[in-house]
Structure formats: structure tokens, C-alpha cells
């Protein structure tokens, strides 16, 4: 639970592995005792087994069944087209590109059509690679039906989602990680801080943030109407408090004056308070019931189709064109290298555009795939040679490495690619097709696909990473303004505590989106000054998010000076409106100036000062106002110190 809160990664990897084993076993039985199945049928079954777990993500069982049926039908239709068009290989190649465009374009309509597009594309890949004939179609249809049934049984019966148990496990994992941070801080306070201990504490704190991100995804959604779920509101309060207390502990432990007796006394108080909050969080977790997860969640806003005037600037259309051109370029390069194995290049070109936001993201994903493939081929050659002629151990290793690949899918794309490449090497050995030349060819095709994807992302409709990060900054500031507005409504008697919690959670997601969008900016190829600017910009948002948490937590109860808080909120909203977003990370060259505190960093939640928190947000934002940073920051700091 400490390494995988909520067992999210464990469940995903187990579902993929178990579904694959069930499908493979069922198809082998059918092949031996009933009907002979073609390689295309086996490939369709195993490809759809993986996609049936990874791509189908609806929250309700009925929605998942409908998506599974639609996706299976789309996949079979694509394989049937490939089978009937086999006498015309160039038409099949063109169909491959049309499918790639369509699969990306229909993502605009949500998770269901994203899954349908992935099934169709993987079916076109299998059709082009295994070249089924029309006589293979009954067996392919049977394999797809078996796969759908197996995936449904695993997803809904053998390994279903259990929201209450999952959330409790995630909370226990987060609690364990918080305890580790507290233990490391306490040890360092006793024996002295070193650079190594500070790195361990910061790494452990990142683990806490990751665990809290998992908890956030498992919390009940904001209801469309009515009160919040009965146990969710107290739990949200405790999570607010725990996060704030942990940040206070770290701030006090790592500040320059942390070696004084007074600082050690404050740190001791904060650690005791943190321990008390952990106990309260466990009680809130134990108080959760199934009723907390039966409220109707807020329905997502319907997607608006792009108009003719905006079609060329529409994100799904732009990405679909990029993917299609990258696949076409990879197809040409792959055919030049091998007329029989060019499909790996096209598959790589398609996948490097999955879950990316900018050209920097595409480059990182492509390099991770190429690197994982290269290392996996080296390891695969060794293992396939050692396991030659040993069917049982080779099959067991295939199962193990498939599990590990999808266990690390959400952590490292390169690691996932490594394990899948090793698995493929062992599969080639089991089929008697293994050769070092074949694996080297796969690496070369992967490099061609990676280069095609990166080249297109930089030359065709390029999305600069800084522009993507700027949009993430805009979204963060928008939700920050929504939080300030929700607090104002609360002061006027029109808002609710749950609304403040919900918007605060949305703000956390926006903060995480900024970290993801700006990640390529902090990599090794920019200059040192650019990297420092990116780090400072990310730190500034961490400061704002911290004070936003404190402001939200202090505003859910009675406020002593409502008028004073309302004035500070207006000042904050004015500062939000005045921030210039373009080039934000290039201009973040000075560290955020600290706000004079009143010494209440370790006090209880009901003693938190919302006015101080609002002033801290305005103070940090004022450092970003064009032409007013120094004057505005000085005025805010002066007003805070005199309050």
C-alpha cells in the first residue's frame, strides 16, 4: 500500500495479465479441440485483451459494456476490410493512414470514442501485419467475442472496482508515507541535517503528493445537487489539515534558522500536531460508508464540435493531422528498411503522440520508447538465448514481464517499453522465430517511427512547450479565481463548504497539470538559466497552491472579520486578472519573496487566519504583475506586517 496506494497499478497490471491468460487459454482450447484459428485470430484476441483493459475507462458497468461492444464491432469491421482488400496492398496501406486519422480525430467525443479509435487502429495494425483472408473472419469474430467475455469477467467479477476499500487503502498508503516523512524529519532534527537527508525528505514528500493524487482520484465527485456525501466532507477537511500540517513541518525543518532552540521547539509542536492529524484522518477513513459513493457525480460537459472557422486550430484535428503525417513518414521509412516489418515504425509513430501536450512531450515520449526498446532488446537477446527450448520457464517469464510492463505503465513509459520488448523477444523464441537480426530490425523500425513523430511534431502545427505550459497557467489562474469567488459566496451565505472543497481539488489538478506541461522545459537541453527560471516558476505555483489550501481551510468555518476578508479577496482577484501569462516561465527569475507570518504556522485549523492566507496569495501574484512587481509586493508585504 505504501508503494502503490489504492492498489491502482497492481489492479491494472493484474487485469491485463489475467485477461491475457484467459484469452490465450480459451483460444488454444478452441484451436485444438474445436476450430482451427489463424494467427490473425490469436493476434486480434491478444491485442483486444490489452486494449479492453487499458482503453475502456468508463465509470459505470453499463457504459463499459456498451463501449466494449462498439469497440469490438469497430475492430472486427476493420479486420474484415483488411481481409477483403488483401489483393490491393496499397489500398490497405492507405486504409491504415485513414484509420490513424480517424482514431485520433474522434477522441474529441470522450473516453468511449477514444477506446473505439484505439481498437480500430490496433485492428488495422493486426490486419496489415498478419494479412488475414476472408476465410479467417469467422475465427477472428469468435476470438473477439471470447476476448470481450473474458475482459468483462475479469473487470466486473474477478477484479472489480471497490470504491470504499480502494479509498481506504489509498488513505492508509498516504498515511504511511506521511509517517515516513515525519520519521525522517525527526531523525534529522536529532542528529543533524545533511544534503543526503534533505534529498531523502524531499523524495519522501514527493511520494506523499503522489499518494494524495491517488486519493484525490478516488474521492467521491461533487454532486450535481444536494448536500455532499455524509462522510466525504469531514474527510476533505482532514486531508486539507494534513496537507497543510505536513507543509508546515517541512517549511520549519528546512528553513535556514532551523537549528535554533526556538525553531526546534516549533518543529516538535508541528510534528505532534501532524501525528494527531494522522489519527483524525484514520477515524475519518473508518467513518466512510458505501453511501458516500452512491451520490450521482457531476456529469462532464458535452464536447462542442469544431466549427468550420476553427477547424484548423482545433486540437483533435491538429493532432489527427500530425499523427497521420507521422505515420505516413514512418511507413515510407519503414518500407525502405523492410517491406515485411515496417508496421513497427508506424505503430511507434502513432503511440508517441498518445497523452502528449506539446512537441517537447512528444520528444520525451519518443526517446523513452526508443531507449526502452534498445535496452529491452539487449536483455531480450540474453534471456531468449538462455531460455531456448524451455517452454514452461519462457511462458512464465512472459507472464511476469507482461505484468511488470503494465504495473509501471503509469510510472515510466520507458520501463513499460523495456518489459514489453523483453516479452516480445521471449515470444519470438517460443514461436521459433527468434534471431538477433529480427530484434535489431525492430529497434531500427522503432527509431524510424520515433524520428518521424518528433520531426512532424516540430515542423507541422508545432505546439511549443512554453505555449502549452502557458495554457496550463491560465487554467490554474481561472480555477484560483473560482476558488476566491466560492469563498466570497460562502461569506454572502450563498455558497457551501463542499463547493470550496470541490474547487480546491480542481485547483490541485490544475497545479499538477502545470507540473506535467512544464516538465520538458526543465530537461537537460535548455540552458542553465532557463532551467532555473522553470524551477522558480514551478515553485511560485507551489507557494500559491499552499496558501490557497490554507485560505480554503480557514474559510469553511466562521470568519471573524468577514469584511476584511472580502477586501483581501477582491485584491486577490484583481491580481489574478492582472497576471501576464505568455512567457511566464521565462520571466520567473527571482525567488518568491516570503510573506511575514504571525507565527501561526503550527496552530490548529480553526485558528488559521484567512486574511493572512489571502494576502499571501496576492503578495505572490503581485510579483508577477508587469511593471508593478516591486511596488505592489512591497505594499502588500508592508500591509501584511502591520496587520
Residue 221 pLDDT: 60
In the chain, the percentage of residues whose pLDDT exceeds 90 is 20
* Residues 6+ away with beta carbon under 8 Å from 98: none
* Residues 319/457, Cβ–Cβ less than 8 Å: no
Of 227-241, 305-319, 352-366, which has the strongest mean pLDDT?
Answer: 352-366
Low-confidence winner among 122-136, 223-237, 613-627 (lowest mean pLDDT):
223-237
Q: How would you classify residue 432: left for phi > 0, otherwise alpha for psi between -120 and 50, otherwise beta?
A: left
- For 535, half-sphere exposure in the C-beta direction (CA atoms, 13 angstrom radius) is 10
Of 29-33, 404-408, 586-590, which has the strongest mean pLDDT?
Answer: 404-408
Task: Return the CATH fold of 163-290.
Answer: 1.20.120
Residue 512 pLDDT: 80
Residue 605, pLDDT above cutoff 60: no
Which three cell numbers, joined as nine digits, stand for 152? 468483462
CA separation for the pair 319, 100 (Å, rounded):
11
* pTM for this predicted structure: 0.79
- Residue 168 CB coordination number (10 Å): 18
Of 220-224, 305-309, 431-435, 623-627, which has the strongest mean pLDDT?
Answer: 431-435
pLDDT in tens, 69-105: 999 999 999 999 999 988 888 888 888 899 999 999 9
Which three cell numbers, joined as nine digits, stand for 123? 485492428
pLDDT band for position 23 (cuts 50, 70, 90): very high
pLDDT in tens, 486-528: 888 888 877 677 778 778 878 878 888 887 777 776 554 444 4
Low-confidence winner among 80-89, 343-352, 630-639 (lowest mean pLDDT):
630-639
pLDDT band for position 149 (cuts 50, 70, 90): very high
Residue 599, pLDDT above cutoff 70: no
Give the residue-averaged pLDDT of 4-15: 87
Domain ranges of the chain: 1-161, 163-290, 314-462, 464-643
Higher-confidence position of 119 and 131: 119
3 state DSSP class of 297 = strand
pLDDT band for position 328 (cuts 50, 70, 90): very high
* Residues 6+ away with beta carbon under 8 Å from 55: 71, 114, 115, 118, 119
Amino acid at each position: 500500500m505504501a508503494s502503490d496506494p489504492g492498489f491502482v497499478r497492481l489492479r491494472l497490471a493484474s487485469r491485463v495479465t489475467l485477461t491475457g491468460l484467459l484469452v490465450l487459454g480459451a483460444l488454444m482450447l478452441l484451436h485444438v479441440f474445436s476450430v482451427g484459428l489463424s494467427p490473425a485470430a490469436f493476434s486480434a484476441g491478444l491485442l483486444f485483451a490489452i486494449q479492453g483493459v487499458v482503453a475502456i475507462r468508463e465509470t459505470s458497468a453499463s457504459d463499459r459494456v456498451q463501449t466494449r461492444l462498439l469497440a469490438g464491432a469497430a475492430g472486427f469491421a476493420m479486420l474484415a476490410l483488411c481481409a477483403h482488400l488483401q489483393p490491393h496492398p496499397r489500398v490497405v496501406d492507405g486504409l491504415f493512414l485513414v484509420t490513424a486519422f480517424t482514431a485520433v480525430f474522434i477522441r474529441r467525443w470522450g473516453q468511449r470514442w477514444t477506446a473505439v479509435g484505439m481498437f480500430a487502429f490496433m485492428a488495422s495494425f493486426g490486419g496489415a501485419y498478419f494479412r488475414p483472408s476472408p476465410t479467417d473472419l469467422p475465427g477472428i469474430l469468435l476470438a473477439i467475442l471470447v476476448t470481450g467475455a473474458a475482459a468483462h469477467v475479469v473487470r466486473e467479477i474477478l477484479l472489480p472496482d471497490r470504491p470504499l476499500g480502494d479509498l481506504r487503502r489509498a488513505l492508509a498508503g498516504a498515511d504511511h508515507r506521511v509517517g515516513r516523512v515525519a520519521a525522517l524529519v525527526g531523525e534529522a532534527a536529532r542528529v543533524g541535517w545533511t544534503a543526503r537527508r534533505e534529498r531523502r525528505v524531499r523524495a519522501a514528500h514527493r511520494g506523499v503528493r503522489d499518494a494524495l493524487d491517488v486519493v484525490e482520484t478516488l474521492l467521491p465527485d461533487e454532486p450535481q445537487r444536494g448536500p455532499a456525501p455524509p462522510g466525504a466532507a469531514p474527510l476533505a477537511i482532514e486531508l486539507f489539515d494534513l496537507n497543510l500540517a505536513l507543509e508546515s513541518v517541512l517549511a520549519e525543518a528546512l528553513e535556514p534558522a532551523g537549528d535554533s532552540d526556538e525553531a526546534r521547539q516549533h518543529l516538535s509542536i508541528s510534528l505532534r500536531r501532524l501525528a494527531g492529524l494522522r489519527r483524525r484522518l484514520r477515524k475519518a477513513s473508518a467513518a466512510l460508508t458505501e453511501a458516500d459513493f452512491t451520490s450521482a457525480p457531476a456529469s462532464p460537459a458535452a464536447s462542442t464540435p469544431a466549427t468550420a472557422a476553427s477547424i484548423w486550430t482545433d486540437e483533435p484535428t491538429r493532432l489527427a493531422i500530425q499523427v497521420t503525417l507521422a505515420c505516413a513518414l514512418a511507413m515510407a521509412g519503414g518500407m525502405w528498411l523492410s517491406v515485411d516489418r515496417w508496421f513497427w515504425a508506424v505503430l511507434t509513430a502513432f503511440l508517441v503522440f498518445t497523452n502528449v501536450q506539446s512537441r517537447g512531450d512528444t520528444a520525451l515520449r519518443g526517446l523513452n520508447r526508443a531507449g526502452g526498446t534498445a535496452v529491452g532488446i539487449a536483455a531480450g537477446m540474453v534471456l531468449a538465448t538462455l531460455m531456448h527450448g524451455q517452454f514452461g520457464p519462457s511462458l512464465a517469464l512472459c507472464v511476469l514481464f507482461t505484468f511488470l510492463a503494465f504495473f509501471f505503465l503509469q510510472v515510466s513509459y520507458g520501463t513499460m517499453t523495456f518489459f514489453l520488448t523483453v516479452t516480445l523477444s521471449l515470444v519470438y523464441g517460443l514461436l521459433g522465430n527468434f534471431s538477433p537480426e529480427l530484434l535489431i530490425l525492430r529497434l531500427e523500425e522503432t527509431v524510424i517511427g520515433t524520428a518521424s513523430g518528433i520531426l512532424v511534431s516540430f515542423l507541422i502545427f508545432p505546439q511549443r512547450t512554453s505555449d502549452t505550459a502557458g495554457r496550463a497557467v491560465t487554467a490554474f489562474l481561472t480555477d484560483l479565481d473560482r476558488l476566491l469567488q466560492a469563498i466570497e459566496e460562502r461569506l454572502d451565505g450563498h455558497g457551501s463548504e463542499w463547493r470550496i472543497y470541490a474547487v480546491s481539488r480542481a485547483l490541485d489538478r490544475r497545479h499538477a497539470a502545470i507540473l506535467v506541461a512544464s516538465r520538458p522545459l526543465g530537461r537537460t537541453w535548455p540552458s542553465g538559466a532557463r532551467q532555473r527560471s522553470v524551477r522558480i516558476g514551478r515553485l511560485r505555483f507551489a507557494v500559491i497552491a499552499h496558501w490557497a489550501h490554507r485560505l480554503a481551510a480557514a474559510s469553511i468555518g466562521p470568519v471573524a472579520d468577514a469584511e476584511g476578508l472580502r477586501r483581501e479577496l477582491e485584491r486577490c482577484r484583481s491580481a489574478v486578472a492582472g497576471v501576464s501569462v505568455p512567457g511566464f516561465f521565462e520571466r520567473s527569475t527571482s525567488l518568491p519573496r516570503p510573506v511575514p507570518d504571525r507565527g501561526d504556522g503550527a496552530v490548529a485549523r480553526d485558528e488559521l487566519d484567512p486574511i493572512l492566507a489571502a494576502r499571501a496569495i496576492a503578495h505572490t501574484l503581485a510579483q508577477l504583475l508587469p511593471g508593478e512587481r516591486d511596488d505592489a509586493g512591497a505594499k502588500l508585504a508592508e500591509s501584511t506586517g502591520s496587520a
